[in-house]
Structure 1
Amino acid sequence: MKYCSTRGKVKGLSFSDAVMMGLADDGGLLLPEEIPTYSANELAELGELSYPDLAFRVISRFVDDIPAADLKKLIDTAYSSFEHPDTTPIVKQDGIYILELFHGPTLAFKDVALQFLGNLFEYLLDKSGCRMNIIGATSGDTGSAAIYGVRGRKNINIFILHPKGRVSPIQELQMTTVTDENVFNLAVEGTFDDAQSIVKEIFGDLDFKEKHALGAVNSINWARVLAQVVYYFYAWFQVNKETGCKEIEVSVPTGNFGDIFAGYVAKEMGVPIKRLILATNANSILSRFVNDGDYSAAEVHQSLSPSMDIQVASNFERYLFYLYGKDSEAVCKAMDDFKKSGILNFTDEQLQQVQSTFTASAVNDEETIEAIAKFHKETGYTLDPHTAVGVEAGCRTRDKNLPLVCLSTAHPAKFGSAVKSAIGQDPELPTVFQGIEKKPKKLEVIAAKTEEIKAFVEKHAR
């Protein structure tokens, strides 16, 4: 399996090289040259596997340069850190199947990918004798999951940028109370889009990238997306066992298009997903794209679901590559046009193609609170705000003849204020959060200026 860039100037990479490169050197995003597929019979053979074994079988289809035994160990070690024996259990509430992705160390779905990626980085660096300085931007959960994935590991430093005052208090504490010498938290005086743009700009400085051996943990790194593909397989198997259904629909709360792009890859591989339901909050660039072909950047609105407070979805370029028939020149032109104007336009034929795979709905804060309250009253089950956006969007747009799976992306305790305003009480506080506000903190506040952040990285890089 070889990897290429969406922009066409980087080709023929191995999986390991793609992981270590992160963002392609031509500014594009890396993808496998072909997406492997499963027949119905082949798919059925995977249905009885445990989550780690299923992950190995799916991921190994994309990896041919790491010995199978080593890859299996990396995956098994990653998921041994999850508190639930099923890793990503699925529960049925009020006729909806909720895929709980928050049983990892930081209680967010990002752990599914970043526990694996941390192991993978350490393995590849140990093999090569090299070092790495990871730079990433977070709108909430990626930061803590990435930090927990690499804290204390040899040959790795990690620099995480988050928008100051625009993540939940628990999310900030999860990042800033990790005081390992190799961890650096930067509170950027701006939005997540500002932070994400800075990270991309830094990676675009190829001399700086090479000098400091920069690596990526954001979903610009293909291994992040690949690990998330697995739970769409797992969800299908669990629902199919109970219902005997031929297809499912999956509702995905998303801001950066990474999680739902993983669903797109799973669908292309053969998982019988009729439609992916794209759920956004008031930052609705992605839902506007699906519903109206309107991909135009707007002001970022701070919301109760901060991990989705994004207007420029970094993984969207990967989907464009397929929407444009793998035409890298068309992708380059589109991204250049968007950089200049903040707008992308699509033909009626392209929009029809989009709508054959996706449906979408935007859910504002008031509707989010109502969804949490209603679901809790009817089932006793507590949704976090992001999951509530997914549940509400799914219920609005679902095909009622098919089972609906909603991805639950975070534990409700991570957003206690929003949950309390909805149900009138604090969500149960997991042990890992108890007393977290009293722990020592490590944090730097910094301007949203690329050169200042590059100087900080240069000063502290390994």
Structure 2
Amino acid sequence: MKYTSTRGKVPACGFIDTFLMGLGDDGGLMIPATIPAISSQTLAEWQRLSFQDLMLAVFSLYTNDEIPAEDLKDLVYTSYAGFRSPEVLPLTKLNDSLYILELFHGPTFAFKDVALQLMGNLYAYVAKKQNKVINILGATSGDTGAAAISGVRGKEGIQICILHPHEKVSRVQELQMTTVQDDNVLNLSVKGNFDDCQGIIKELFADLEFKNKYHLRAINSINFVRILAQSVYYFYAYLQLPEGVRAGGVNFSIPTGNFGNIFSGYLAKRMGLPINKLILATNENNILQRFVHDGIYMPDKFHSTYSPSMDIQIASNFERYLYYLCDEDANEVAERMERFKAEGRLEFNEAEREKILSDFGAHSVNGAECLNTIQAYKDRYDYLLDPHTACGIAAAEADRKDKLTVSLATAHPAKFDEAIRLCGIKQSFPEAVRELFDKPQRQVVLDNNKEDIVEQLVRFYPAD
């Protein structure tokens, strides 16, 4: 298995080099040169596997044996040993046509733990085996930062800096990041929104001299390994469904902002998983919903919402889907991304729009609909949704028309008590969340200024 860039200017490379590169050196996103095809017979064999062994089965198709089998097994089993559910990701039935896949049983109570616990251990493994300096740099709308820090805090040979938008994440998200006192962790709270943070990160990774001097590595979903790890739970959810129930295929409803989680589902579908449709659930920051329905990709006014992890306009992983929409023509992708950079919009023709609509459904959930969904599911099923999961459920209801749907529960409701309290619901916090409120915080608050951020990075990271 070789990997290349969506823009076609990166020489083919292996799994570990792709992992370490993160963002392609040509500014594109790394993708496998070919996507493995999973037969129905293989799917049937995978049904007997635990989540950990399923992760191993999928990863073995992509790693080129660059990690010895026993080492990979140790990495996977270590990464999920701290999850609070014995199934790792339990599947909960709400009614005959709607299931919820709970992705929030990891250390930071969010779906990002599924990939980032593994990636943190993989970075530590590579640092030790290759004597590499690992300086992780990432931006977060809330959950990625906490999960990434949890995955590498205190690990030898690794430094991590996370940018988050100042006062635009939930209180628990902020505390999960900023109460970590390990010296290999730096939190920068930027007076802007997530797109501002992400834009600076992309600029720094595109500066190859700076990237190489400071050994920058990516933890965001620009890193293909993040996408690959997340694709596994689509297979896992499908295989947990009763055979008779899933016979006609399944829809997945996914709360999304950066397109990473939904692209992971798209990858699983291209591998052969019988997915009928991937439903994009957005909030008022609905660039992706308008892309699906109108065939126009264009950012609009930024909105702060009850689901802050989805408060994103420019979706990093959109370019990966664009690559396949353009029939894997890297030159066409590069030309369109340059056009988007210059004009701030992309418009798609009728044939492309038909293809988009065959892959995706989409629904934009406003604040009132989000809160109403939380209240309705608490009343109807005594099941408490966090606001992001509520967006996914609302989108599933709007799109599925009684078709079998698995909706992804991306976070524990305790992380977003601000929205839960607006519904008049009082919840009990897990102990690991309660104790955060008594811990001291450590962060640096900065203006949205690249030079100030670079100054902090230069102080923090060891360089050549």
TM-score class normalised by the smaller sequence: over 0.9
Structure 1 residue aligned with 2:411 = 410
Tell me if the contact between 1:201 and 1:450 (Cα under 8 Å) persists in the aligned partners: no
1:56 aligns to 2:56 (yes or no): yes
3-state SS of paired residue (1:298)? coil
Aligned ranges 1:180-329 → 2 under 5 Å: 180-241=182-243, 243-329=245-331
Q: What's the offset of the Cα at 1:128?
A: 0.9
1:158 maps to 2:184: no
- Residues 204-213 or 104-113, more deviating: 204-213
Report the Cα offset of residue 240 of structure 1.
3.5
The answer (yes or no) to whether the contact 1:368–1:385 under 8 Å persists in 2 is yes
Deviation at 1:245, TM superposition (A): 2.4
Q: What secondary structure sits across from 1:243 in the alignment?
A: coil
The answer to whether the Cα contact below 8 Å between 1:97 and 1:406 also exists between their aligned partners in 2 is yes
Separation in 2 of the partners of 1:11 and 1:277?
Answer: 34
CA distance in 1, matches of 2:359, 2:100: 21
What's the CA shift string for 1:36-85, capped at 9, x where partnerless? 01111111100110000011001111111111111111111111111101
Amino acid at match of 2:425: Q
1:420 maps to 2:393: no
Give the CA RMSD over aligned residues.
Answer: 0.9
The separation in 2 between residues aligned to 1:251 and 1:399, in whole angstroms, is: 13
Distance, in Å, in 2 between the alignment partners of 1:333 and 1:413 is: 44
Structure 1 residue 292, shift from structure 2 partner: 1.0
Indicate if the aligned counterparts of 2:246 and 2:404 stay in contact, CA closer than 8 A.
Answer: no
| Structure 1 residue 439, shift from structure 2 partner | 0.4
Q: Which whole-Å CA distance do the structure 2 matches of 1:399 and 1:199 have between them?
A: 40
Equivalent-residue separation in structure 1 for 2:440 and 2:236 (angstroms): 39
- Give, as a single letter, the amino acid of the residue that structure 2 aligns with 1:340: A
> What is the Cα deviation at residue 124 of structure 1?
0.7
- Which amino acid is 2:285 matched to? N
CA distance in 2, matches of 1:370, 1:215: 41
Q: Distance in 2 between matches of 1:156 and 1:448?
A: 26
User: What's the counterpart of residue 103 of structure 2?
Assistant: 101
1:88-124 residue CA offsets vs partner (Å, 9 max, x unmatched): 1000113420000000000000000000000110111
1:448 deviation in Å?
1.4
What amino acid sits opposite 2:344 in the alignment? G
Letter of the 1:93 partner, please give it: L
Pick which of 344-353 and 89-98 moved more. Answer: 89-98
Work out whether 1:88 is the aligned partner of 2:89. Answer: yes
Which of 323, 331, 334 is equivalent to 2:333?
Answer: 331
2: distance between equivalents of 1:427 and 1:260?
29
Q: Secondary structure at the match of 1:92?
A: strand
> Match of 2:346, as an amino acid?
L
Contact 1:251 1:278 (8 Å CA) reproduced: yes
| Cα distance in structure 1, aligned partners of 2:187 and 2:411 | 21
Offset at residue 242 of structure 1 (A): 6.5
8 Å Cα contact 1:202/1:450 also seen in 2 = no
Whole-Å Cα distance in 2 between the matches of residues 178 and 352 of structure 1?
47
Shift in Å, 1:244: 4.8
Structure 1 residue runs of 4 or more that deviate by more than 6 Å after TM superposition: none
How big is the shift at 1:426? 2.1
Match of 2:68 in 1: 67
Residue in structure 1 matched with residue 13 of structure 2 by the alignment: 13
Cα distance between partner residues in 2 of 1:94 and 1:364: 24
Unmatched 5+ stretches in structure 1: none
Q: 2:202 & 2:246 partners in 1: Cα distance?
A: 45
Answer whether contact 2:281 2:362 (CA < 8 A) is retained: yes
Distance of 1:7 and 1:448 partners within structure 2? 29
Distance in 2 separating the partners of 1:92 and 1:428: 23
Please say if residues 7 and 27 of structure 1, whose CA atoms lie closer than 8 Å, have aligned partners that are also in contact.
yes
- C-alpha distance 145-242 of structure 1, shift in aligned 2 (>3 A): farther
Structure 1 CA distance for aligned equivalents of residues 348 and 257 of structure 2: 20
Distance in 2 separating the partners of 1:240 and 1:246? 12
Match of 1:356 in 2: 358
- Once the two structures are TM-superposed, the CA of residue 417 in structure 1 deviates from its matched residue by 1.6
Contact 1:240 1:246 in 2 (8 A): no
The one-character-per-residue Cα deviations of 1:162-220 (angstroms, maximum 9, x if unpaired) are 00010000000000001100000000010100000000001111111001100000000
Within 5 A, what are the aligned runs for 1:135-154? 135-154=137-156
**Is the 2:252–2:277 contact (alpha carbons within 8 Å) kept by the matching residues of 1?**
yes
Q: Name 1:117's counterpart in structure 2.
A: 119
Moved more, 125-134 or 274-283: 125-134
CA contact (8 A) 1:74 1:120 kept: yes
Which digits, 9 at most, give the CA deviation of each residue in 1:293-324, with x for residues without a partner?
02111121000000000000000000001000
Shift of 1:435: 2.6
- Which whole-Å CA distance do the structure 2 matches of 1:246 and 1:68 have between them? 35
Consecutive unaligned residues in structure 2, runs of 5 or more: none
* 1:346 aligns with one of 348, 356, 374: 348
Q: Which amino acid aligns with 2:12?
A: G
* Partners of 1:99 and 1:405 within 8 A in 2: yes
CA contact (8 A) 1:52 1:75 kept: yes
In 2, the alpha carbon distance for the partners of 1:45 and 1:321 equals 31
Distance, in Å, in 2 between the alignment partners of 1:191 and 1:335 is: 22
CA contact (8 A) 2:238 2:246 kept: no
Return the alpha-carbon distance in structure 2 between the equivalents of residues 40 and 364 of structure 1. Answer: 39
Which letter maps to 1:318? R
Letter in 1 for 2:212: E
What TM-score comes out, normalization by structure 1 length? 0.98
1:85 aligns to what SS in structure 2?
Answer: coil
